[in-house]
Structure 1
Amino acid sequence: MTQNDLKAEQELAAIRALLVEAYGIEGDVSPLPGEHDLNYRVRAQDGEQYLLKLHAPDDADDLGMQVAVLGHLATTAPDLSVSRPVLVRNGVSTVNVVVRGERTARLLTWLPGDIWAKSATRGLASAETLGDLLGRLDRSLESFVHAGTKRVYAWDIGRADMHLQHVDLIDGADKQAAVRAIFERFAAFVLPSLQACPRQVIHNDANDYNVLLDNEGHVSGLLDFGDMVETWRVVEIAVAAAYSLIGARDAVGTIGALTGAYHRVNAISETEAGLIFDLVRTRYAVSMCMAAKQIRENPENTYLLVSQDDVWRELQRLERENRAVAIARIRDACGFAPVAHAADVMAWLERNAHDFSAIVKPAVAKPQVAVFDFSASSSEAEQWAVLDAQAAEARIAAFIREQNADFGIGVYGEDRGIYRGDAYETAISDERRSIHLGVDLFAPAGESVHAPFAGKVAFLHDDAVAFGFGPTVLLEHITDTGDIFWTLYGHLSRETLATLAIGQPVARGESFAALGASEENGNWAPHLHFQLVTDHLGLGGRMFGVGVRDQWQVWREISPDPSVVLGLPVPAAVIVAREKDFLVRERHRRIGRSLSIAYSAAPLKIVGGEGAHLIDEDGTRWLDMVNNVCHVGHCHPRVVKAAQAQMGKLNTNSRYLHDTLVEYSRRLAALFPDPLNVCFFVNSGSEANDLALRLARAYTGNRDVITVDHAYHGHLSSMIDVSPYKFAGKGGEGRPAHVQVAEMPDLYRGRYRYGDADAGRKYADDVRNQVLALAANGRRPALFFSEGILGTGGQLTLPEGYLREAYAHVRAAGGLCLADEVQVGFGRVGSHMWAHQTQGVVPDIVTMGKPIGNGHPMAAVVTTEAIAASFANGMEYFNTFGGNPVSAEIGLAVLDVIRDERLMHHCQVVGIRLMEGARALAKRHAIIGDVRGYGLFNGIELVRDRETLEPAASELDFIIAEMKRKHRILLSSEGPHHNVLKVKPPAPFSAKDCDYFLEALDETLGRLSP
């Protein structure tokens, strides 16, 4: 054993003795790296782990600060993933020890996870979870005050200017130059801007050796509060981002992910967001200075160089980023407009568009325009890209003639990634720019280009690179509110540049340029590339003409859709398709959070549908077993054709006479027995049920309602009131005074079960009880709500005679009875057109929705002449879109398809096959407790024990997830216990689909743990 080994073992022995004496802990001790403190990992014999820190005597102030902050966080943020102090036996926080001189020992709880720098799971989620943790931490530290934090600290990048004196210590002239430039920008721009930002105590050292990650790459802990300082809050984000982006594919995207997560829990200002990119660079510059200084003072401490190779590599990478784009992306990650004034510029353009001059003036007042689809297919786009000048010009001219058009356009937002050439290969954050930022106007060479509105020449540039803009002009404009923007004109003639000068004014409508010939523009056919620019990114005339798909929300702010300027008679822009992660983020940002996303852990991006299948963006077909909206099948050609044909003729409100509306009302009413023969048309099942309630109150003069427990009848306020599924659930406000709730008639787990021939009457007795409860208070019911099969109740079929008896009780008290067919109507039950018919009753009012329009928003109410007449009390009922000609044509097409394709009979046959198959599975899988339903509206209830009926909700979650993941079948759950597998596919669901489902369910059930 060497002398050093012996010394090290003696130190560990002393530490083990300290642990026993001070803390009563026995175990193994192993050293950890550190810059100032001596750090050790302690593995106690009882399995617990700890972090032991030995502080040097000159660290007394810092130590007091660290002890104080953990005490503060124990009170203000007990849930944060930070170490907690372990007290000495006598109740104090520290104890003195002699290890490499006199030191102060402090024992902390151990945090699980791997150090970020050495973790194989680090990624974007790591940055996001770190941002969230730091945001919550800093929110807690706002109220923390300690004298030790007010120090002048070299690692506070808010004082980066103090390191100018150390730049010459850095090895390498290129490194010195880069660092000096960063400090000069810091002094001139960053530091003055920081003065408007909030200050507080921050952790200040969330580096990749102080952050722990779990097996999923999420932050599980934050270590070491020794670098705390009172400074500008935004420094916290910059320090963490500087280390988070090390090795990341997209450096700026990582900064944005961390910043956005921080902002969501601890909002920052737009000023702070705009400083982060420069502050990250400043952190790197400070780190290089500190390392150069310290390594000269202590050349044996290799810890000082642990990250310097990473620092220089990442600084070089950030130096290649466009600062304006980086800041725009960080702003976007926080929910700020990427370009602050872009919206104001667009508003000015829209207000003044009527006064703009045409840029390229065709021979006719209203030209016919041919739209080139550059992204139709790879082979076609490839051909467009490589044609020589003569062939390209002839090709476009022929295309215009074929379309009988005067000139052609290439649209904004097209993916032109197929094009080759260096000008289109320039990357930002390693992402290829491929999405067209302008509109191309194809016209003959020499055609005049006119200014749409007044401006001045700001930039001139001649890009001779193939596939570039060629000669380019940027005109500068200013709005009436002082916002500056530019218009870009590419593919001009070289002669144009010779006639213009920087600063030259250009009047509205003035001809200031001409289109260049093919040989001047990389062999493109003559055309103008026109582009709006709200920020030229410091590039001037070299401004990009294509943007990055994955950053489109930023690029469309830098160069918005120029359609507002052009006013073309054809669409000049397309929607740029985005990845699912972005769509989820944008939904959460721009659409109410209460709108859920199906399969949120792995959401689907659905772009098409056919029959009983949905189709995602990759072309994968998913068997849809939950969509009873597209009743006759997704995108049924007869329904689509009917909608398209009528939309091309007329769509207006129902105050005008129209044959289709009258014919549809006749056809729909014919599906019901007398006296149900009067129709009202609305837009959704919720509206239909709301109108039904108004009808009942008008007819009866009563206001109270009786509903079935756990029912759901719509999202309007009036319907939430009569939906126990909502008002008695999470976020609900409880039962309203005017609503009585009848017992849910559940033959599987209710009071009266299968085999009780009198169950229907017994359950209906509770409807009578609600009638009597009203009567006791001198009130009577206006309406009794019930479905023919209880959907949210768990796909429950009603006991025989239930509705007959319930209707009798309500009608005897002067109330009306409603059949809600929004979910189950239009032949889905197989044996009848309407589910209530399985009970042998005729309601007073029937409401319909969902399947009525096969995905088109329409719904209806059918009632009696007497009830309808009572509603005509002088107050007109009018629904703008209800019964419009397009909806009526669609409704007729749906009825035709149900009739002609015999879908009601099909639902019965396949439904029997499905339920018989599911009952056969129940003989092999005890978890299936009940199989019920009519036609293709079914429920398979899962239980852990058939005697106790303990719901198997988590097992059902597993089944739904696995049926999706492995078999591409889409299902969902239902019922009060969320343990009922809900089956309600489009009616064309075939016998083959049924067998595939049963086989997949059998396989999945077989993989459940016994």
Structure 2
Amino acid sequence: MTKELSGQEIAAINRLLTETYGIEGEISALPGEHDLNFRVRTNDGSAFLLKLHAAGAPEELDMQLAVLEHLALAAQALPISRALPDRSGALLSPVDFKGERLARLLTWLPGETWAHASNRSAVGDETLGALLGTLDRALTGFDHPGAKRVYGWDVARADMHLDHVGLIDDEEKRNTVRAILDHFVSAVLPRLAACPRQIIHNDANDYNVLLDAEGRVSGLLDFGDMVETFRVIEIAVASAYALIGAEDAVGTMARLAGAYHDVNPLTETEVELIFDLVRTRYAVSISTAAKQIRENPENTYLLVSQEDVWSELQRIERENRAIAVARLRDACGFAPIPKAARIVRWLERNAHGFSGIIRPTVLKPKAAVFDFSAGGPAANDWATLDKVEAEARIEARIRAEGADFGLGLYGEDRAVYKGDAYSTTVASQRRTVHLGVDIFAPAGEPVHAPFAGKVAFYHDDAVAHGFGPTVLIEHATDSGDVFWTLYGHLSRESAEKLAIGRSIAKGEAFATLGGRHENGGWVPHLHFQIITDHLGLEGRIHGVGVRDQWQVWREVSPDPSVVLGLSVPASVIVARDKEFLVRERHRRIGRSLSIAYGAAPLKIVGGEGAYLIDEEGTRWLDMVNNVCHVGHCHPRVVKAAETQIARLNTNSRYLHDSLVEYSRRLTALFPDPLNVCFFVNSGSEANDLAIRLARAYTGNRDIITVDHAYHGHLTSLIDVSPYKFAGKGGEGRPAHVRVAEMPDLYRGRYRYGDADAGAKYAQDVKCQLEALAAEGRKPALFFSEGILGTGGQLVLPEGYLNEAYAHVRAAGGLCLADEVQVGFGRVGSHMWAHETQGVIPDIVTTGKPIGNGHPMAAVVTTEAIAAAFANGMEYFNTFGGNPVSAEIGLAVLDVIRDERLVHHCAVVGKRLMNGARRLAERHPIIGDVRGHGLFNGIELVRDQETLEPAAGELDFVIAEMKRKHRILLSSEGPHHNVLKIKPPAPFSAEDCDYFLNALDEVLARVPMG
């Protein structure tokens, strides 16, 4: 709490400011434990922080000055205050205000204190962690005598507070604090000794942390509590304040620690101590407050957060420490349960020798599989069922299947039926995901041990939930890792005979299944579970875990399928939220794999026609996915894949009708002499193979490519893709590549209205060829698309390819048409984009739309070129042209033909471009509308004369079309100012009109500049 200033005090402070710094203004008091702190607002709108330090501790004050000077050089971007000199140039000024003090004037940091902000969220935790990680990394080399003090607010000195525990009035609070401090001395402090030490801020409390309007941390105040101590204490102190009022206390710690670790990596020991150090910080706060209040009962600032501290300490004392540590480990990229992976590997290595659990003589029983989640394979809405109705369905299903037994799956949602027994008051901590497998079998069925062990724990759940006994059998791997197998819902009569410590042999029938009365009223079944860590719960270990923490719980209880060895699936993939998926992609897949709409990514779970469907059922009009050319999940294509993969899938060395038929159908779409196919798996593979074909035929190595082109991600294709090699991270043009001028009729050298533009642009191809000839070299291949995609959806000038091809062929090279983006009728007037130029290439590469999303591609060339490639080195592609791919390719061709999609692209494409040109009359930001069929570009400019690219404005358009209208679009072109349009071909006239109306609405409110 802060005391309101009197008029006399305000006047005294302003005199001080005028005499010392030459400023005056509006004064507001701020909280402070040791110092007097004031905000100063001057008449010109500037703001400052004035700190008046009590006399004494000169080393500590000098340290605060020194650290700001250090950080001004070592971490200039950190949002911290900067010290300002007084009139004499000094950073510390003696003044008289309520006694002798030392004044410091600091720059003011904008933002709301964490304590008063109404927009606290996960992003605040993450940005605070990142800020502190950056700060501590910058402080690694900083040293100062003032930081070497013995300081009561250094959590590493928590043992000093044991003497103060007796001053705590409340008995429960006193006992809790004493237990925490004792644990710190005996268990935490010895492990801290191995952790890194340095100077830390040590006081990222809710009054020292500032948030901006978006809830991101925008500033850190007050370096008065700095101390040289163990680095990890920085995170513990910040977490102790950040989790106050947060729904998920451990989740808050984990977010903060994970973000810190991303910029300043922690050790495993540090991570494992965070939870205990947060508890210790609370204990230190409570004991310190008890001491200080006894000494100074009028200092109400001491009581500001004590109520919250005790409330939060009670809350985290209820947390399971083992799970908390596992979650913190996971947040920092460490395995949640370190031994879990070793245990699973042991199970996998030895699975061939396991005995069956139910009816061990039946190795692969037929089984009915049950999914308790709504809309799952069982097609039962369990959320509407009570137990009686649900178990009746289970019994009926087993009878109908004629099964040996039924299964309840690992990973399915188990807390959706009426009477949810696993809910908590905190939604993010509800235990709902099944951690074992349920094996439905008759009561009295013998239960066998899959491998040897000993009885470790016994628990009878009859009173709480009406379930029969649970038994845990302990096992050990060859390397000594201990784990357990759990058997739930056993008959009480059989389980009670099992003495703790009794040895159980592999295959031994050690118990029997209980009846309904021992299964909570359910159909009799065994709950089988693997346990790598019983979390101190022993026989009371949970049978369901928390969905939001699934990556931790799946290590506590791994998939038991490895033990069961069934011929049917016994587990399902647990769906996760977008934030988790982004984190895991970055951690396990690589950050270079981009995510569409990175600031607000989509989790897509379905598709239909021209629409994608997210996890909430929202339909998004897809205007960028030319891969699913005939429409997302086209039933005819899906059926072809299902039918063939159920019959055969093998490599192309075997004879198969589908492969030959597809090659016949595909080459029939090209004129002679393009009548030979090579099948591969992607457009990149196709273009790479095309280079090999050209080099084999011509004996030359050099390539001519068009500026800003992209032809694939293989090394050979990055070399011929200026979009990549001349861009960020690129290594520049390779010596064997020549780059021809991009034929851009809108902003290039030769523009719309120039009848000779095609020939003029092609002249630059000739120039590149002449440059090669001057070096005694000849071209192998000229690369070009029929419409330039990454170039900005550019339609080639009339005659360009005709002239360019002529130059290349005269120089001894071949000509390639890259149809990976634009082929299969998308241009509307023709099947292939190069046909709009009236040319016949030597090689054509196809991909993307060829398989409607299935990974396949093809190279089509002449017999002569194919013959030159058959030089004794065998060509083979394991998956290219496999029977499934061939059948899918045939289905795509059938759909294009039978649904008249080429004509459809022409009609709807014309409607779209005409509509866009009408919009251009009302919105001068539209500079150009171009394309063929449904491969279009709308270029945005800030000025029609200068053609200044409107890249930022296009970003706004794309974001708003997604946010408000659920339309997915993307940008293209060298200046990233071209709206790229290439939807699935079934994109309808109604879809087109919806898009045009939405674009009209968004363009009307584009912020220019």
Give the alignment's TM-score, normalised by structure 2: 0.98
- Matching of residues 133-282 of structure 1 within 5 Å: 133-282=131-280
| Equivalent position SS for 1:920 | helix
The partner residue of 1:729 within 722, 727, 730 is 727
Counterpart CA distance in 2 for 1:926 and 1:67 is 55
Matched, 1:585 2:583: yes
Q: Is the 8 A contact 1:250 1:429 kept in 2?
A: no
Letter in 2 for 1:883: G
Letter in 1 for 2:944: R
Counterpart CA distance in 1 for 2:908 and 2:428 is 53
- Matching of residues 746-825 of structure 1 within 5 Å: 746-825=744-823
Counterpart CA distance in 2 for 1:473 and 1:662 is 60
* 1:219-247 deviation per Cα after TM superposition (whole angstroms, max 9, x unaligned): 11111111111111111100000000000
* 1:704-734 deviation per Cα after TM superposition (whole angstroms, max 9, x unaligned): 0000000000000000000001101111111
| Equivalent position SS for 1:988 | coil
Displacement of 1:899 in angstroms is 0.7
Counterpart CA distance in 1 for 2:520 and 2:538 is 20
What is the aligned residue count?
A: 1003
Q: Is the 8 A contact 2:36 2:51 kept in 1?
A: yes
- Name the structure 2 match of 1:499: 497
Counterpart CA distance in 1 for 2:24 and 2:386 is 74
Change (3 A) 1:739 1:465: farther
Change (3 A) 1:468 1:604: farther
Letter in 2 for 1:248: A
Counterpart CA distance in 2 for 1:623 and 1:365 is 49
Letter in 1 for 2:556: I
Displacement of 1:56 in angstroms is 1.0
Displacement of 1:367 in angstroms is 1.2
Displacement of 1:426 in angstroms is 4.9
Q: Is the 8 A contact 2:467 2:517 kept in 1?
A: no
Counterpart CA distance in 2 for 1:757 and 1:563 is 70
Displacement of 1:407 in angstroms is 0.9
Q: Is the 8 A contact 1:465 1:522 kept in 2?
A: no
Letter in 2 for 1:233: R
Letter in 1 for 2:156: G
Q: Is the 8 A contact 2:490 2:514 kept in 1?
A: yes
* 1:655-685 deviation per Cα after TM superposition (whole angstroms, max 9, x unaligned): 0000100010011011111111000000000
- Name the structure 1 match of 2:603: 605
Letter in 1 for 2:166: D
* 1:98-147 deviation per Cα after TM superposition (whole angstroms, max 9, x unaligned): 11111111111111111110111112111111111111111111111111
Letter in 1 for 2:388: L
Change (3 A) 1:892 1:314: same
- Name the structure 2 match of 1:975: 973
Q: Is the 8 A contact 2:953 2:1007 kept in 1?
A: no
- Name the structure 2 match of 1:305: 303
- Name the structure 1 match of 2:282: 284
Change (3 A) 1:104 1:820: same
Matched, 1:847 2:848: no
The partner residue of 1:573 within 548, 571, 574 is 571
Matched, 1:20 2:23: no
Q: Is the 8 A contact 1:915 1:931 kept in 2?
A: yes
Counterpart CA distance in 2 for 1:123 and 1:853 is 44
Of 713-722 and 73-82, the range deviating more from structure 2:
73-82
Displacement of 1:149 in angstroms is 1.1
- Name the structure 1 match of 2:865: 867
- Name the structure 2 match of 1:374: 372
Counterpart CA distance in 2 for 1:382 and 1:117 is 40
Of 395-404 and 529-538, the range deviating more from structure 2:
395-404
- Name the structure 2 match of 1:387: 388
* 1:261-318 deviation per Cα after TM superposition (whole angstroms, max 9, x unaligned): 0000110011111110011011000000000000111111100110000000100110
Change (3 A) 1:361 1:846: same
- Matching of residues 822-833 of structure 1 within 5 Å: 822-833=820-831
Displacement of 1:26 in angstroms is 2.4
- Name the structure 1 match of 2:900: 902
Displacement of 1:30 in angstroms is 2.1
| Equivalent position SS for 1:711 | coil
- Name the structure 1 match of 2:614: 616
Displacement of 1:427 in angstroms is 6.5
Counterpart CA distance in 2 for 1:308 and 1:820 is 69
| Equivalent position SS for 1:175 | helix
Letter in 2 for 1:996: Y
The partner residue of 1:527 within 525, 528, 552 is 525
Counterpart CA distance in 1 for 2:610 and 2:341 is 42
The partner residue of 1:92 within 62, 82, 90 is 90
Q: Is the 8 A contact 1:660 1:888 kept in 2?
A: yes
Counterpart CA distance in 1 for 2:630 and 2:503 is 62
Letter in 2 for 1:579: D
Of 495-504 and 822-831, the range deviating more from structure 2:
495-504
Counterpart CA distance in 2 for 1:232 and 1:457 is 43
Letter in 1 for 2:247: R
Displacement of 1:616 in angstroms is 0.8
Displacement of 1:466 in angstroms is 6.2
- Name the structure 2 match of 1:687: 685
Counterpart CA distance in 2 for 1:826 and 1:454 is 61
Change (3 A) 1:428 1:969: closer
| Equivalent position SS for 2:269 | helix
* 1:34-88 deviation per Cα after TM superposition (whole angstroms, max 9, x unaligned): 1111111111222211111111112323212211211221221121111111012
Counterpart CA distance in 2 for 1:991 and 1:81 is 52
Structure 2 residues not aligned, in runs of 5+: none
Counterpart CA distance in 1 for 2:205 and 2:20 is 31
| Equivalent position SS for 1:171 | coil
The partner residue of 1:44 within 37, 42, 45 is 42
- Name the structure 1 match of 2:102: 104
Q: Is the 8 A contact 2:382 2:416 kept in 1?
A: yes
- Name the structure 1 match of 2:736: 738
Displacement of 1:332 in angstroms is 0.7
* 1:811-834 deviation per Cα after TM superposition (whole angstroms, max 9, x unaligned): 000000000000000011111110
Counterpart CA distance in 1 for 2:356 and 2:704 is 65
Counterpart CA distance in 2 for 1:340 and 1:11 is 60
Q: Is the 8 A contact 2:384 2:418 kept in 1?
A: no
Counterpart CA distance in 2 for 1:561 and 1:384 is 27
Q: Is the 8 A contact 1:467 1:521 kept in 2?
A: no
Displacement of 1:28 in angstroms is 2.2
Q: Is the 8 A contact 1:959 1:1005 kept in 2?
A: yes
Q: Is the 8 A contact 1:639 1:890 kept in 2?
A: yes
Change (3 A) 1:229 1:468: farther
Structure 1 residues not aligned, in runs of 5+: none
Counterpart CA distance in 1 for 2:608 and 2:73 is 58
Change (3 A) 1:475 1:960: same
Q: Is the 8 A contact 1:421 1:467 kept in 2?
A: no
Counterpart CA distance in 2 for 1:959 and 1:123 is 28
Counterpart CA distance in 2 for 1:463 and 1:166 is 43
Give the alignment's TM-score, normalised by structure 1: 0.98
Counterpart CA distance in 1 for 2:748 and 2:571 is 58
| Equivalent position SS for 2:430 | strand
Counterpart CA distance in 1 for 2:636 and 2:466 is 47
Q: Is the 8 A contact 2:911 2:992 kept in 1?
A: yes
Counterpart CA distance in 2 for 1:208 and 1:375 is 41
Q: Is the 8 A contact 1:362 1:407 kept in 2?
A: no
- Name the structure 1 match of 2:629: 631
The partner residue of 1:939 within 907, 914, 937 is 937
Q: Is the 8 A contact 2:701 2:779 kept in 1?
A: yes
- Name the structure 1 match of 2:701: 703
- Name the structure 2 match of 1:644: 642
Letter in 1 for 2:907: V
The partner residue of 1:990 within 967, 977, 988 is 988
Letter in 2 for 1:734: G
Of 875-884 and 365-374, the range deviating more from structure 2:
365-374
Change (3 A) 1:897 1:874: same
